[in-house]
Amino acid sequence: VEYVERAYEKIEKYDKTINALITIRSKNEVLNEVKENIVRGGKLAGILIAIKDNISTRGIRTTCASKMLEDYIPPYDATVIERLKKEGAVIIGKTNMDEFAMGSTTETSYFGPTKNPWNLERTPGGSSGGSGAALAADYVDLALGSDTGGSIRAPAAYTATFGLKPSYGTVSRYGLVAYANSLEQIGPMAKNAEDLGLLYTIIAGPDERDATTIDFTPNLDISEQKLEKVRIGILNDILEMSEKPIISAINNIVNKLSNEGAIIEETKLGYAEYALPAYYIIAMSEASSNLARYDGVRYGYSRYMEGSWREVYAKNRGEAFGIEVKRRILLGSFILSAGYYEEFYLKALKIRNLIKMSLDELFKKYDILISPTMPILPPKIGEVINDPVKMYAMDLNTVIANLAAIPALSMPAGFYNNLPIGLQLMGKYLSDMYLIKIASYIE
């Protein structure tokens, strides 16, 4: 009772300001479930968790932070939700995010921006900013986010928490509202590496309802991972593009790691300047095709039903999608249109391959690659939202892992003027648990 009371007290006290939650479940319902689940048992028996609002939860509104799905109550649970429930976890609410996960600051939400609990003038990062803020404001100890091009790691970095973008195909996307299928994964967010590992191993594993999941089930491995002889490459071409306080925070950590016996070398990714354009071309192309289903007839907001199908379509979509989503549908459709496909989309796929190949080579030499998670400190609310190019540039370091399908983790790396800084660890495909163990050692 106390545990649930405490969570709701904090939410009542702070969430009017922070705005981390779009939907908060009734305290009584949650309390009853917690009691039942403690009796029933499981690895998360009676533990509260906050879920990003693009993950389907049966009977709980799932809006994607869009007017398009404002009243949508899913009739089914995502696979990750089924797995959490089986282990006794209890959903406390759904977290704020950028509309359809498109953004880096949680400011494109139809429900208004989330504020960073560390500094209310700043963004908590995005698009899973509500999940990061719910952890930092101490409503819960566990949360789920989704990461298409950094959306778990950006908020982890900006709220001084831990977040993992899992190896592609290790976590089912069944029940995740699609933004860019070839890039995204649902992933765990937590306050320490150990909880991150526990949550990851519960949600991961093959699922026949998502054909892109692979036949691999990670095991929770809590044996100690020393840093001695671990080969670490610092991605200098990326580090150099970061703000000064971030560079010094990362250098501090590098010195510590080297004192612990890690073998550290400076290296570079190569193609770093092409990663971002390649990512946005692929993401927008997939987005434009995924978002075609919200036509007001089969799915989504349907206020207008009169007139030709064009009119119905245009009015409903015109009214219910926000500006960033519209921008991406337009750009994505343009990129995929006849005559431009080769010029943009195919080129982006080639760059994606070059980046993959470059990483394959690097992982022959290094066990992990490190960089800052974000190139800049958490921006002020309002600072980047009207400058899309500036907002896209925030994803420079994170999109690499999504393009290459490899795991990437963000963990706290210190503060500058009370603003959190994140360290990113990347590892080869399926080395998720290894990254978590290294993070737990550094922590």
* Contact predicate 22/53, CB 8 Å: yes
Known active-site residue 244: no
Can you tell me which residue has the tokens 């800084």?
A: 421
Catalytic residue among 66, 104, 151, 242: 151
Closer residue to ligand GLN (CB): 8 or 200:
200
| Dihedral sign (CA 39, 143, 420, 170) | positive
Sheet with 185-190, side-by-side order of all strands: 21-24, 90-95, 48-52, 142-147, 185-190, 162-165, 408-416, 419-427, 368-372, 231-235, 263-267
Among 46, 74, 117, 149, binds ligand GLN (CB under 6 A): 149
Closer residue to ligand GLN (CB): 101 or 442:
101
Among 23, 131, 148, 167, binds ligand GLN (CB under 6 A): 148
- Site residue total, ligand GLN (CB under 6 A): 13
- Segment contacting ligand GLN (CB under 6 A): 109-117, 146-154, 228-236, 296-304? 146-154
Can you tell me which residue has the tokens 């030499």?
A: 365
- Segment contacting ligand GLN (CB under 6 A): 42-50, 100-108, 136-144, 294-302? 100-108
Closer residue to ligand GLN (CB): 11 or 276:
276
C-alpha–C-alpha distance, residues 430 and 346, integer Å: 27
> Does residue 370 touch ligand GLN according to CB under 6 A?
no
Known active-site residue 431: no
Known active-site residue 151: yes
Give me 109's structure tokens: 């939400």
> Does residue 135 touch ligand GLN according to CB under 6 A?
no
DSSP assignment of 382-411 equals TSSTT-HHHHHHTTTTTHHHHHHT--EEEE
Residue 315: CB minimum distance to ligand GLN, A: 26
Helix locations, 189-299, DSSP H: 193-203, 236-239, 244-259, 272-290
- Segment contacting ligand GLN (CB under 6 A): 29-37, 102-110, 205-213, 225-233? 102-110
Residue 247: CB minimum distance to ligand GLN, A: 22
> Does residue 150 touch ligand GLN according to CB under 6 A?
yes
Residue 310 amino acid letter: R
Catalytic residue among 104, 127, 371, 410: 127
Among 144, 283, 335, 442, binds ligand GLN (CB under 6 A): 283
Count CA atoms closer than 13 A to 333's CA, side-chain side: 9
* Contact predicate 155/106, CB 8 Å: yes
C-alpha–C-alpha distance, residues 272 and 274, integer Å: 5
Which one, of 251, 225, 265, 235, lies nearest residue 439 by Cα? Answer: 225
Specify the length of the chain in residues.
443
Among 151, 161, 170, 185, binds ligand GLN (CB under 6 A): 151
> Does residue 103 touch ligand GLN according to CB under 6 A?
yes
Among 33, 87, 286, 395, binds ligand GLN (CB under 6 A): 395
Binding residues vs ligand GLN (CB under 6 A): 101-104, 127, 147-151, 179, 283, 395
Return the active site residues.
52, 127, 151
